[in-house]
Amino acid sequence: MVASNDQISTGVTGLNSVLYGGFVPESTNLIRGGPGVGKTTFGLHFLIDGMKKNEKSLFISLGETEQNIRKNASRLGLDITGLDILDLSPDSSFFTEVESYDIFAPSDVERGPVTQKITEKIENDKPKRVFLDAITQFRFLSSDEYQYRKQALSFLTYLKEKGITVVFTTEHSKLAPDDDMQFMCDCVINLENMNGSYRLKVIKCRGADTMTGGHTYKITSDGIALFPNTIPPLKLNRVAKHQLSFGIREMDELLNGGIESSTINLISGPSGVGKTTLGVQLAYQAAKEGYNTFIFSFEEEKEMILSRSDEVNIPARKLEKEGNLNLMRIEPMLYSFDEFAHLVNYYVKKSEASVVMIDSITGFNLALKEEDPSNQLYALSKYLQKHGITVVLMDEVKSITGEFQISGNRLSYLADNIIFLRYLEMEGEMKKAIGVIKKRLSDFEKTLREFEITSKGIRLGKPLDNLRGIFSGKPSWSNENEQKNTDS
């Protein structure tokens, strides 16, 4: 969706994307969530953006002192020099000078001065942006819930009538819910800490469309960094079609010439069978032919991949130094899925990459914590594919031998091409075999070939025409020509 030109920037790039441009002008916007999720920091970004645009911006604090606000902003790397803060938080005299009200309720006595200070500030300064933290403090200035809701609604209406775009927070809990505030405002943004991962979701946005789903954000030394979820485009970017070779004649024969560009490819097999080495061979060959290629490794360090490539005669190090082949180690515990997807997208656009390899889905799943990996991987893979990029995914299956598994993560539906590797126990000797079980855009060889990784590179044997029972987990040679196949 195209952003509206008159929308008000939130000050957070990712949030602007989620709201397709920002807040609706002269709207009331609620940022809600538990303690420590960054509500005040989001509000500060909103005000700082206004200051940069020479818009009069006002922070109304009902709970935190101005001194603490400025100190915390400095720790986050946010420059709020010159920001106007109306500090209405209780000072120490409230405790040291014990006041009692014999005739009137405390709410009746204190509401008047607070309301007067706010209206005087608004009338005199005429701000265009106001951040109120937190509106639920009005609850303690009201004699009952009805008066609280009436006062809050009246205040928000007053600000809108003054042409002000308002952002405010609530301090909700089971004992003091904020459902009434959600009904009163135009936009509701929910912040949540899910097992250490911060998530943002727009619950409602009156008068504007928004990006659906939850979005990851981080509170960093530079403030808020928000990563909208990945949504594949509806249309496929038109790019020239070609086949990518593995650089191994027998491997290309197995695939009827190679794998087609702009496809999603799954290389599956148990641990140690050679998935990464086969993937690096494909990445190396693609880079050698001039296609910018990225390998994102969740499991092995960059130097480990390059050293092993040296040992098996895949000169990936040379192309890595030249820049066509890029290897990046990803620590799964440090990244959320949305952040990783944005990282991939950034490097893909920067380098105009044609091939992206993710090694492996098991490591990738660690970054998702409790989310569904199949949904997230589908979104990222389809997003890359529709931008003309060839995707290669490494998928580990648990069983080393025995009953055949295509995928360890139920992702076979996603792939256009599936290459599988597996161990075979033949007459007391452990061997490896490779085959293709799915290829959407062309025919492929239906037999298996023996697979070896040697000091001279990857070697594939002749088709194992007489091998039976591979999918049952009990492979054996047919009687006819057994000795011929064994000798070859």
pLDDT (tens digit, 9 = 90+) per residue, 167-180?
Answer: 999 877 676 678 88
Mean of pLDDT over the chain = 86
Instruction: Answer whether 132's CB lies under 8 Å from 168's CB.
Output: yes
What letter would DSSP give residue 453?
E
Instruction: Answer whether 314's CB lies under 8 Å from 327's CB.
Output: no
Residue 431 — pLDDT band, cuts 50, 70, 90?
confident
The pLDDT of 200-209, averaged and rounded, is 92
Q: Domain map of the chain by residue range?
A: 13-227, 243-487
Task: Using alpha carbons, select from 266, 320, 310 the residue that is nearest to residue 288.
Answer: 320
What does the pLDDT read at residue 265? 97
Residue 335 — pLDDT band, cuts 50, 70, 90?
confident
Q: What is the C-alpha to C-alpha distance for residues 405 and 421, in angstroms, rounded to an integer? A: 10
- Mention every residue, 6+ apart, whose C-beta is less than 8 A from residue 188: 29, 30, 32, 182, 202, 203, 204, 205
Structure tokens at 173: 């809990």
Q: What is the C-alpha to C-alpha distance for residues 163 and 151, in angstroms, rounded to an integer? A: 19
Residue 482 — pLDDT band, cuts 50, 70, 90?
very low
For residues 127 and 177, the model is more confident at 127
Does the pLDDT of residue 367 top 50, yes or no?
A: yes
Is the domain 13-227 a CATH 3.40.630.40 member? no
What do you get for the CA distance between the two ends of the chain, in Å?
60
Residue 375 — pLDDT band, cuts 50, 70, 90?
confident
234 exposure class (CB count in 10 Å sphere: 0-12, 13-18, 19+): exposed
The pLDDT of 104-122, averaged and rounded, is 67
The pLDDT of 52-62, averaged and rounded, is 95
What does the pLDDT read at residue 371? 59
Does the pLDDT of residue 417 top 80, yes or no?
A: yes
Q: How many angstroms from the chain centroid is the CA of residue 246?
A: 31
CA distances from 297 to 276, 344, 436, 453 (A): 9, 12, 24, 20
Q: What is the C-alpha to C-alpha distance for residues 318 and 325, in angstroms, rounded to an integer? A: 9
Does the pLDDT of residue 18 top 80, yes or no?
A: yes
What does the pLDDT read at residue 360? 83
Residues facing 450 on adjacent strands: 433
Residue 151 — pLDDT band, cuts 50, 70, 90?
confident
What does the pLDDT read at residue 143? 67
**What are the DSSP calls for 127-168, one per residue?**
-SEEEEE-GGGGGGGSSSHHHHHHHHHHHHHHHHHTT-EEEE
SS3 54: coil
Does the pLDDT of residue 226 top 70, yes or no?
A: yes
What does the pLDDT read at residue 181? 86
Does the pLDDT of residue 209 top 70, yes or no?
A: yes
Instruction: Answer whether 463's CB lies under 8 Å from 455's CB.
Output: no
Structure tokens at 326: 């890029």
Angle at CA of residue 244, ends 239 and 247, nearest 5°: 160
Task: Using alpha carbons, select from 318, 333, 250, 330 the residue that is nearest to residue 288.
Answer: 318
Q: What is the C-alpha to C-alpha distance for residues 343 and 485, in angstroms, rounded to an integer? A: 48
280-284, 383-387, 406-410, 450-454: the lowest-pLDDT one: 406-410
Residue 107 — pLDDT band, cuts 50, 70, 90?
very low
For residues 296 and 478, the model is more confident at 296
- In the block, residue with structure tokens 């928004």: 210
For residues 125 and 481, the model is more confident at 125
Does the pLDDT of residue 404 top 70, yes or no?
A: no
Residues facing 28 on adjacent strands: 166
Does the pLDDT of residue 402 top 60, yes or no?
A: no
Does the pLDDT of residue 299 top 70, yes or no?
A: yes
Length of the chain counted residue by residue: 488
Does the pLDDT of residue 48 top 50, yes or no?
A: yes
What does the pLDDT read at residue 463? 84
**pLDDT tens-digit series, residues 309-330:** 999 999 999 999 999 999 999 9
What is the CATH topology of the domain spanning 243-487? Rossmann fold (3.40.50)
What does the pLDDT read at residue 171? 78
Radius of gyration over every alpha carbon of the chain, rounded to an integer in angstroms: 30
